[in-house]
């Protein structure tokens, strides 16, 4: 079981979608970084991700890792948000048949999984159809 600190320190990203915008070239990083891979700048401004986007690709996980055993099958996809940032998340509140590339999605705050005995409940973002 990981320590809660491993979870807590990701909360700004998982709960509040905090990204970092490079002050020199404007590139947005999620999660935030310390040095821009494009221009080398080390100065960033915190910014919040756009909450809407379009699905670029998706899959349905039928053989899950153990933490997700109770949830399978479930859909996971990558969407490009309106600010150009790409995000990976589960896609919920829609049937598998409705999934298609280009589908408009928005981000909602949901439970991701439970660590189990004496562990914590892990939250974060998921995609839902827009």
Partner 1 sequence: MREVAIIGVGLNKKWGELWDKSLRQIFVEAALAALDDAGVDKIDSMYIGSMSSGLFVGQEHIGSLLADYLGKVPLSATRVESACASGGAAVRLGFMEVASGMSDVVLVGGVEKMTDVTGSEATYALGTAADQEYEGYHGLTFPGLYALIARAHMEKYGTTREQLALVAVKNHRHGARNPVAQYPFEITVEGVLNSVLVADPLRVLDCSPITDGAAAAILCPVEMARSLGKPIVKIIGSGQATDSIALVQRKDMTWLEATYQAAKQAYQMANKGPEDIDVLEVHDCFTIAEICVLEALGIVDRGEGGRATEAGLTTLGGKIPVNPSGGLKSKGHPVGATGVAQIVEIVKQLRGEAGERQVKEARVGLTQNMGGTGGSSVVHILERED
Please give the residue ranges that form the binding site for partner 1 (CB under 8 A): 10, 14, 31, 56-69, 71, 74, 76-78, 86-90, 96, 101, 112-113, 122, 124
Task: List alpha helices for the chain, DSSP H.
Answer: 4-8, 11-16
DSSP-based helix, strand, coil % in the chain, nearest 5:
15, 45, 45
C-beta of 28: minimal distance to partner 1 in Å?
A: 12
Q: How many CB atoms lie within 10 A of CB 109?
A: 12
C-beta of 119: minimal distance to partner 1 in Å?
A: 14
Identity of the residue, 56 or 128, whose beta carbon is nearer to partner 1 in the bound complex: 56
Which residues on adjacent β-strands are paired with residue 86? 80
Identity of the residue, 50 or 90, whose beta carbon is nearer to partner 1 in the bound complex: 90
């Amino acid at each position: 079981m990981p320590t809660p600190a491993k979870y807590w320190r990701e909360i700004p990203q998982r709960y509040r979608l905090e990204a970092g915008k490079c002050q020199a070239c404007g590139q947005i990083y999620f999660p935030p970084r310390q040095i821009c891979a494009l221009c080398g700048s080390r100065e960033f401004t915190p910014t919040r991700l756009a909450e809407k986007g379009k699905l670029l690709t998706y899959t349905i996980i039928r053989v899950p890792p153990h933490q997700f055993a109770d949830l399978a099958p479930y859909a996971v996809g990558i969407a490009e948000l309106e600010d150009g940032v790409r995000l990976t998340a589960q896609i919920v509140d829609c049937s598998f048949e409705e999934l298609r590339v280009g589908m408009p999605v928005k981000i909602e705050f949901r439970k991701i999984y439970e660590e189990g005995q004496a562990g914590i409940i892990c939250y974060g973002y998921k995609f839902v159809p827009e």
